[in-house]
Amino acid sequence: MHVSVVVASAGIDSELRRLISSLEAQSLPPEELVIVTPESSHDVKELVKSTKLDVKIIELRKDPGPIRARIFGGISSRGCYVAFIDSDCVAPPDWLERMMKEMLSEQVDVIAGSVTGINLEKVISRAQEYSLISPNPKHSRKIIVHDIGVNLLVTANVLLRRDVLLNSRIIPPSYGRYGFEDLDFFYRITKAGYKILCSPVSVFHYNRTRFTTVLKRYFEYGCGLPLFRRHSRGCVYSKVITLLSYSLMAILTISAALLILGNLEYFLAAVSLIFVPLHLYHLSKIKEGKAERLVYPYMDFLLALTASLGALIMEAKLLLLKVNNLANQ
């Protein structure tokens, strides 16, 4: 059961060292740790000497995007199995052991694990953790094939057979730092005929703690949606999220028009289409977070609005690019 752990990291920093410490404590030690990072002036030799793990560092001159960096690291590894984890995560001591047991018992090709926020003493961190559109998925155990459905899958916690990475059909184009790259990757895996197990086995994630930073990230998620829809035509997740995002913008546009026209009653009815479902969701979870959950619908709204704006702006950019290309032909 040789497992290589691959981390795509923006640099050699304290977050990465914290992750390495958690990997050193694994009950099933990794065969090697592959770190894919941009070229820098950091002392990578010092990092290699400071850990008992067998570390391989790959420094890239050009950033290929997180998914391609992970895939490149996985192909360059020597393990029969490859695990992905983010540099801002830490792994519980039994993480690799439990993931491998799931892989062998369920006889699947890929395991998409869960992610749990660890720094929940911060309000903004808790808001992300309990959000209806949280970036940290919590899975029940189920196998998905042919399509990812409406399951949020992330590469912050993944175990897969190394030979899966050798299939060129699963490699998505680079999204840069925009969102939905992970979902494109998993969708391509299912379309290539592989089976994915959604697993409750979790890693711990250090959520962002500044609201402006969170908004910026959700804007980037939104920018990735039009790219995802174009690259993964037919994906159920793409269709559902696109419908929800643009429905939100349509409702807000209608609400603004009603308010300008002075139709307060219809304005409130339109706005309720957004806030009633959010309130009902958080009221159903009131035991998790207590009275603080009453604020979360408004934070969810801001996050969803920010992501939808990102999607609209990217749609406009792609449309302008298409028009320019046609004009130059």
Q: How confident is the model at residue 1 (pLDDT cuts 50, 70, 90)?
A: low
Q: If you ran DSSP here, which 8-state letter would residue 163 be given?
A: G
CA–CA distance, 95 with 205 (Å, rounded to integer): 13
Q: If you ran DSSP here, which 8-state letter would residue 139 be given?
A: P
Q: What is the mean pLDDT of the chain?
A: 93
Is residue 304 within 8 A of residue 217, CB to CB? The reply is: no
Beta bridge partners of 149: none
- Can you tell me whether residue 106 is helix, strand or coil? helix
Average pLDDT over residues 136-141: 95
Average pLDDT over residues 276-288: 92
Nearest to 23 by CA among 112, 63, 83, 66: 83
pTM of the model: 0.93
- Amino acid identity at 155: T
CA–CA distance, 145 with 235 (Å, rounded to integer): 12
- Can you tell me whether residue 50 is helix, strand or coil? coil
All structural domains of the chain with their residue ranges: 3-208, 231-328
Q: What is the pLDDT of residues 141-193, one digit of tens each?
A: 999 999 999 999 999 999 999 999 999 999 999 888 888 999 999 999 999 99
Is residue 191 within 8 A of residue 104, CB to CB? The reply is: no
pLDDT higher than threshold 60 for residue 81: yes
Q: How confident is the model at residue 78 (pLDDT cuts 50, 70, 90)?
A: very high
49 against 305, higher pLDDT: 305
What's the pLDDT at 14? 83
What's the pLDDT at 10? 78
Average pLDDT over residues 294-315: 95
pLDDT higher than threshold 70 for residue 236: yes
What's the pLDDT at 302? 96
* φ, ψ of residue 153 in degrees (nearest 5): -120, 135
pLDDT higher than threshold 90 for residue 296: yes
Q: How confident is the model at residue 277 (pLDDT cuts 50, 70, 90)?
A: very high
Class of domain 3-208: alpha beta
Q: Please name the residue that has the structure tokens 């749990």.
A: 116
What's the pLDDT at 131? 94
Beta bridge partners of 117: 205
Q: What is the pLDDT of residues 11-64, one digit of tens each?
A: 777 888 899 999 999 999 999 999 998 876 566 667 777 888 999 989 888 888
CA–CA distance, 10 with 1 (Å, rounded to integer): 29
What's the pLDDT at 42? 63
3-state secondary structure 191-208: HCCCCEEEEEEEEEECCC
What's the pLDDT at 231? 93
- Amino acid identity at 208: R
Average pLDDT over residues 239-252: 95
- Token pair of 5 as six digits: 């752990």
What's the pLDDT at 43? 66
Average pLDDT over residues 92-109: 96
What's the pLDDT at 73? 95
Average pLDDT over residues 279-292: 88
Average pLDDT over residues 265-280: 95
Q: What angle do CA 92, 93, 96 make, to 5 degrees?
A: 90
CA–CA distance, 176 with 287 (Å, rounded to integer): 38
